[in-house]
Copies of this chain bind each other. A is one copy, B any other.
């Protein structure tokens, strides 16, 4: 995969979505992205500023519901599954496939925030698929 001209300088190239999902460094940046987006969404929902950290169990469940669990090795712990959720969402944002505003609105407007996270991962997956940056399974 050649480097896309839109790729941020600090991102390496990936051959497929699984490589994105298991990138722990990308996940550590994604952790900061998701916590910020989630905090803004909850601020909107509650009508006052609110800071929140998304639980790993919540992220792992959202990744499963978004159908991406099968793109990961079968024998991994829940922490690695939640890392994958953080990695895929920030990967989409870093490539301008998903905006901060859209990310926040997706969680703010969901019936419950947890389902908003699933929707956010689904959006990231769909946008990456359309971009053809890396192959994405159906």
Contacts and interface: CB of A to CB of B under 8 A. Distances in A.
A81 to B, nearest CB: 17
Nearest to A94: B49
A30 B47 CA distance: 16
B100 A44 contact: no
Contacts of A38: 32
A32 B23 contact: no
**This chain: how many copies in the complex?**
2
Chain A interface, >50% SS class: helix
A130 interface: no
Contact of A43 (B29, B44, B46, B51): B29
A44 B9 CA distance: 7
Contact of A10 (B11, B26, B49): B49
B25 A29 contact: no
A39 interface: yes
Contacts of A44: 9-10
A83 B100 CA distance: 24
A10 B51 contact: no
Contacts of A33: 36, 39
Given A29-B39, A32-B52, 4 more contacts: A10-B47, A29-B49, A30-B49, A32-B39
